[in-house]
Amino acid sequence: MIHRLTAVAAALLLLAGCGGTTKGSTAASGDQTAVNRTADPNAPIKEGLKIAFLPKEIDNPYEKLVDDGGITAVKELKGEGKEVGPSDASASSQVSYINTLIQQKQDAIVIAANDPNAVAPALKEAMAKGIAVVTYDSDAAPDARQIFVNQADSEEIGRSQIRLMAKQIGGSGKIAILSATPNATNQNTWIGFMKDELTKPEYKNVELVKVAYGDDDDQKSFQETQALLQSVPDLKGIIAPTTVGISAAARYLSSSPLKGKIALSGLGTPNQMRQFVKDGTVTEFSLWDPSELGYLAGHVAAALASGRITGAEGEKVTAGKLGERTIGQNGEIILGPPTVFNAGNIDQYHF
């Protein structure tokens, strides 16, 4: 009994980030076995850190912008940054890449998880070997990473999707969601908050009839848009909280008689969406600056791999041109609030 209680207490301490190897930050490059349990905020950023960015999928233009931002940050810090990743965003597609990065003795792995659990065993192995593990964009199970760099507050991203859509359909009608993959942690978290937002009395006439999955694949997203419009003839609006989904849906609608009659909103890059705002297919959508997300994640990974932070709440990270960020609950760091784009401001943004 005593033995069991001790084990439970140790597990709780671990979860609380009070000790243990999975919460500690990695030690120096070249000393991959030791783990720092306490942060030294004055420790210098080590030179020559090898930091790998592992996006959901390599061909997604959004992820490319994010990772270019990350590699820029690593370069600023005199490290070696690189991007590697799968060509599809399926749940287990990243596992072999993590294993290779472990063999390569990278100092840090920065990953946008396609599935919170499928990547967890490999990420835990990386941490056990002294590699710093940071998630960005889409989180893994919290015990499989040290820090999650979130683009914005997840709850606000989710609720704001409903607010924007309700405004565009005049507060009533059937809507659908065109998501990315069924397992994506970020999209599923946002969809959870969208559903909760819909329970508020002001949305009593807005009905979510379907969640479709375009798998962050342009063609599949295009086809799913067509299928949604055919299967729900009185659909009023589509929310696509994915840059791949919203641009494919906009392309479909822009050449359809339904252009301007079906509201389309969600998360998109201004460069991909500009023509669809100008041609009247889309009124408003939102996003953050993807390269800033990667840039912040690069700084966080370097600070973690240098022992300046461990992922504990309250620790601070200085992220170059972005300034300082503080680690919140559950090892989460937030970039900042998203921007809403429309015809009035879209030409000011070039990403």
Binding site for ligand RAM (CB under 6 A): 56, 60, 62, 112, 137-138, 180, 184, 186, 216, 242-244, 267
CB of 255 to ligand RAM, least distance (A): 23
The two structure tokens encoding residue 220: 């599949």
CA distance 298 to 325: 13
Which residue type sits at 154?
S
Angle between helices 290-305 and 61-76 (to 10 degrees): 40
CA distance 24 to 298: 18
Ramachandran area for residue 203 (φ above 0: left; ψ -120 to 50: alpha; else beta): alpha
In the bound state with ligand RAM, the residue whose beta carbon lies nearer, of 64 and 174, is 64
CB of 184 to ligand RAM, least distance (A): 6
CB of 243 to ligand RAM, least distance (A): 4
In the bound state with ligand RAM, the residue whose beta carbon lies nearer, of 267 and 282, is 267
Q: Is the dihedral of CA 52, 130, 120, 136 positive or negative?
A: negative
In the bound state with ligand RAM, the residue whose beta carbon lies nearer, of 62 and 252, is 62
Under 8 Å between Cβ of 311 and 23: yes
Which helix or strand (DSSP H or E) is residue 213 part of? strand 206-213
CB of 271 to ligand RAM, least distance (A): 13
CB of 267 to ligand RAM, least distance (A): 4
Strand order in the sheet with 263-266: 206-213, 173-179, 235-240, 263-266
CB of 63 to ligand RAM, least distance (A): 6
CB of 329 to ligand RAM, least distance (A): 21
Angle between helices 154-168 and 185-198 (to 10 degrees): 50
In the bound state with ligand RAM, the residue whose beta carbon lies nearer, of 22 and 94, is 94
In the bound state with ligand RAM, the residue whose beta carbon lies nearer, of 23 and 159, is 159
Strands 285-287 and 339-341: antiparallel
In the bound state with ligand RAM, the residue whose beta carbon lies nearer, of 228 and 246, is 246
In the bound state with ligand RAM, the residue whose beta carbon lies nearer, of 266 and 311, is 266
